[in-house]
Amino acid sequence: MSPRWTYRLTRTEARLIELVAALRHTENLGRPNRYGLLGDGRDQEALGCYGEYCAAALLNLFWKPVAGNPWLECPVDIGNPAGRLQVRTSLTGHLYLHPADKPTDLFVAVRRDTAYTYTIAGWLRAEQGQQPSLWREPQPGRPCYAVPYRALNPADTLPR
């Protein structure tokens, strides 16, 4: 993976992200869980915020850190009807998609390399990954489409 697509956080950035993740978690308490997550979701919220922040920094986009907003606001037409990218961050080497994800949405997969280093692993349109052959149950009771990073489009080809 090209260093161009890797972002190293400062300690100050990491603290800001942790604060946003805690605020998001508090705002999301009592909301329905869309994907059957077990537990309170704090760690997943933080992981998502880290990935979103780093993707925004690498793509030179604005990160809007609010609850219920998994999108990066894109100022240009990227061939996506919504004009937005959705970021998914993982520790497992897969981009996870769900049946409820709109087939035309663009997803950017971010990989956590270390506590302070994140890399854009690639991207795809949801319909590319919502294939029966990719249907898995990585956690009991949480089936989804698991797209290996090697099957993603290279970050350099992301429509911008």
- Which residues of the chain are modeled with pLDDT < 50? 75-77
30 backbone φψ class: left, alpha, beta (φ>0; ψ -120 to 50): left
What confidence tens digit (pLDDT) does each residue in 1-20 have?
567 899 999 999 999 999 99
Check residue 75 and give its pLDDT: 46
Residue 80 amino acid letter:
N
The pLDDT value recorded for residue 76 is 45
Q: What is the pLDDT of residue 63?
A: 84
132, β-bridge pairs: none
Q: How many helices (H) and strands (E) does the chain have?
A: 3, 8
pLDDT of residue 2: 65
Query: Which pLDDT score, from 0 to 100, does residue 147 have?
Result: 98
Number of structural domains (the chain) is 1
- Which element (helix H / strand E) includes 137? none
Q: What is the pLDDT of residues 130-143, one digit of tens each?
A: 999 999 998 888 89
Which residues fall within 8 angstroms of residue 120, CB to CB, at 6 or more apart? 5, 6, 54, 55, 58, 59, 108, 109, 110, 111, 155, 158
Range of the domain at 142: 3-157
Instruction: Give the pLDDT score at 42.
Output: 79
Give the pLDDT of residue 149: 97
Instruction: Round to whole Å and give the CA distance between 139 and 112.
Output: 19
Spatial separation of the C-alpha atoms in residues 26 and 133, rounded to whole Å? 37
The tokens for 114 are 């270390």
Element (DSSP H or E) covering residue 124: strand 117-125
